[in-house]
Amino acid sequence: MSISQQLLLSVAQFTQASSVSHTQVIQTLWGGYGTLFRAFLNDAGVPSVVVKYIELPQPKSHPKGWNTVTSHQRKLDSYHVEVNWYQSFANQSHLQCHVPHCVYVERLDNAILLILDDLAPAGYGDVVTSPRQCHVEACLSWLAYFHAQHLHSAPANLTMYSGLWPAGTYWHLATRPDELHALQDTRLKQAASLIDNTLHEAQYQTLVHGDAKLANFCFTPTGAKAAAVDFQYVGHGCGMKDVILLLSSVLDFSKAEQQVPIYLDYYFAQLSKAIKELCPHIESQSVEQEWRWLFPVAWADFQRFVKGWCPEHWKINDYTEALTVQALEQLGR
C-alpha cells in the first residue's frame, strides 16, 4: 500500500508536528488489511510515532486460504477491539508490562487510523528473530506482570473489559468454526468444547494479550526488558493461553522437554512476585497450582486450532502431540 499525502498530513496534524519528514514501512498488515509504518516528525514533542492504518473492505485473498465471511468478520472485530484497548486500557498499563500509549485514534467509514507511541525512542527498539534466554525471560516477565495487573477470581464482571474480547486469543473456539470443521483429529475434535469450557471456567482469570508470540515483543538493547504490541485479540482468559503461545514461538522443540520446565518455573516466580506487588489479596500459590494443571489444556486448545488451520504446520510435532494427549487424559477424554 502507498502512504497517501493526505494520511501524512493527518498524522502531522494529530501529533502537532509541522510535517512528516519521511516514513519507514514496518510491515503490511496480515491478510492485506492495511499497513504499519513509522512516521518521522518535524517540530514535534517526539521524533517519531508508529501509525497503523487499517483498511476495512474484505481483501481478495488470504495467506493461508481462509478468506471467508467468518474470517473477515473476526478480523474486523479484532481491529475494533485493538482500538478499544488503546483508547481505554493501554495508558493504564504497569511499567513492568510496557505497551505503546495511544496518541490518536479515528474511525473512518472504511478505515481506522491509529497513532501510537514509538517504542524505539523509549528504549525498546530491538526486534528479535533468534531469541536468547534473556529475551524469552523478558517476555515471560512481561506476561507475568500483565496477568497479575488484571488478575481476578471467576466469575468475572466482564463489563470492566467492555470493548475487548469476552474470550481472548485469536484461536478461541467460538471464532474458529471453519478450522474446527476441517480438523481431522477426531479425539481432539470431540474434546474441543470441553477444553474450551475448562479454560473458560478456571477459577483464576485475567486479561490475555491473545497473540503473545515473539514477533509481538520489542526489547531493550540488553534483552533484559520487553514491551508488547499488537492487541487485536486481547480479552478475558487463563494466563496459560499467552504462555503457551509465546513458548510455541521460541522453543527448539527437540529440547522442549528440558526447556519448558525452566521457563514455566521462571514465569511463575515472576507471577508470584507481581501478584504480591499488585494484588496481594490473591494467593499466588493457588493461582500457580491451577494454571500449571491448565498448561497442557491450554496447549491442546491451541493444537486444536493449528491442526485444523494448517495440518502441516511446524508447531505440530511430537512434543505438542504428547502434551495434547496429556491434556485429554487429564480431562478424562
Residue with cell 497450582: 289
Architecture of 133-330 per CATH?
A: Alpha-Beta Complex (3.90)
Q: Before 100, cis peptide (omega within 30)?
A: no
First to last CA, the chain: 48
> Do the two domains 5-117 and 133-330 of this chain adopt the same fold?
no
Contacts of 21 (CB under 8 A, 6+ apart): 40, 41, 42
Q: Is 272:306 a contact under the CB 8 Å cutoff?
A: no
Grid coordinates representing 70?
467468518
Q: Is 247:260 a contact under the CB 8 Å cutoff?
A: yes
What local confidence, expressed as pLDDT, does residue 215 receive? Answer: 96
Q: Which long-range contacts (CB under 8 A, 24 or more apart) does 14-20 make?
A: 14/103, 14/104, 14/106, 14/115, 15/39, 15/41, 15/44, 15/46, 15/49, 15/103, 15/104, 15/115, 16/44, 16/45, 17/41, 17/42, 17/43, 17/44, 18/42, 18/43, 18/44, 19/43
What local confidence, expressed as pLDDT, does residue 115 receive? Answer: 95
What local confidence, expressed as pLDDT, does residue 169 receive? Answer: 97
Strand partners, 208: 235
Q: List, in sequence order, every beta strand (DSSP E) within the chain.
A: 19-28, 34-42, 48-55, 102-107, 111-117, 152-153, 204-208, 217-219, 226-228, 235-237
What local confidence, expressed as pLDDT, does residue 153 receive? Answer: 78
User: Residue 276: which H helix or E strand, with range?
Assistant: helix 256-278
Tens-digit pLDDT profile for the chain (333 aa)? 568 899 999 999 999 999 999 999 988 887 778 899 999 999 999 999 999 998 876 555 545 544 677 877 888 889 889 999 999 999 999 999 999 999 999 888 788 999 999 999 999 999 999 999 999 999 999 999 999 999 987 665 666 788 999 999 999 999 999 999 999 999 999 999 999 999 999 999 999 999 999 999 999 999 999 999 999 999 999 999 999 999 999 999 999 999 999 999 999 999 999 999 999 999 999 999 999 999 999 999 999 999 999 999 999 999 999 999 999 999 999
pTM assigned to the model: 0.93
Sign of CA dihedral 61, 65, 67, 72: negative
Please state the domain extents for the chain. 5-117, 133-330
* Residue 200 CB neighbours (<10 A): 17
The CATH code that applies to domain 5-117 is 3.30.200.20
Closest CA to 218 of 101, 102, 122, 116: 122
Q: Is 198:191 a contact under the CB 8 Å cutoff?
A: no
Helix axes 133-149, 256-278, angle to 10 degrees: 40
User: Three-state DSSP class for 309?
Assistant: helix
Cα angle 299-304-309, degrees, rounded to a multiple of 5: 120
